[in-house]
Amino acid sequence: MRMIAIGCDHGGFILKTAVIEYLKDNNIEFKDFGTYSDESVDYAVYAELVARAVVSGECECGLLFCGTGVGISIAANKVKGIRAACCSDAFSAEMTRRHNDANILCLGGRVVTPEKAVELCKIFLNTPFSNEERHIRRITQITDLENRF
Ligand code: RB5
């Protein structure tokens, strides 16, 4: 059974709530790392919790939400092994799985509606990595880059 890590700041709380409802309705297991209200918090805290759960193998992948999806994706991408993609359209959500083997999807509560967020998470969770040689090569280059700094 797959386990999904999920987290947000106050700006993404409404999206996390909607996506959790979708996960529950579809019997998809998840760990909710907070935040648990729309009270102001700092997004890097939740990015780290979700990113750690993914790189440790505790969770297969992660879903993160903030106001724009940008801050929380920048923070998550500081964790070695994380490929967090900030998306707002279906094509990007699909291609970041197929081509980048992204392991965290980041969405913005001030950018997409809760309905769109559910649609994008559904695509992200149901799209496999292509496993094509050229994409493996490019991801390996990203990992090499990360290891040189
Ligand atoms: C918080 O106001 C906001 O800055 C945050 O949710 C996010 O949009 C940052 O990128």
CATH number of the CATH domain containing 69: 3.40.1400.10
SS3 assignment, position 104: strand
Nearest CA to ligand 1 atom 6: 67
Comparing CA positions, the residue from 82, 98, 86, 101 lying closest to residue 130 is 98
SS3 assignment, position 1: coil
User: Number of structural domains, the chain?
Assistant: 1
121 catalytic residue (yes or no): no
Quick one: DSSP state of residue 101? -
User: What does each of the 149 residues of the chain score in pLDDT, given as a tens digit?
Assistant: 799 999 999 999 999 999 999 999 999 999 999 999 999 999 999 999 999 999 999 999 999 999 999 999 999 999 999 999 999 999 999 999 999 999 999 999 999 999 999 999 999 999 999 999 999 999 999 999 999 98
8 catalytic residue (yes or no): no
CA–CA dist 106, 64 (Å, integer): 5
Q: How far is CA 45 from CA 1, 25, 88, in A?
A: 27, 28, 22
| pLDDT given for residue 30 in this prediction | 98
| pLDDT given for residue 1 in this prediction | 72
Comparing CA positions, the residue from 44, 53, 45, 51 lying closest to residue 2 is 53
**What residues make up the domain containing 66?**
3-148
Cβ of 66 less than 6 Å from ligand 1: yes
| pLDDT given for residue 9 in this prediction | 98
Q: How many A from CA of 10 to the centre of ligand 1?
A: 8
Closest ligand 1 atom to residue 11 Cα is 6
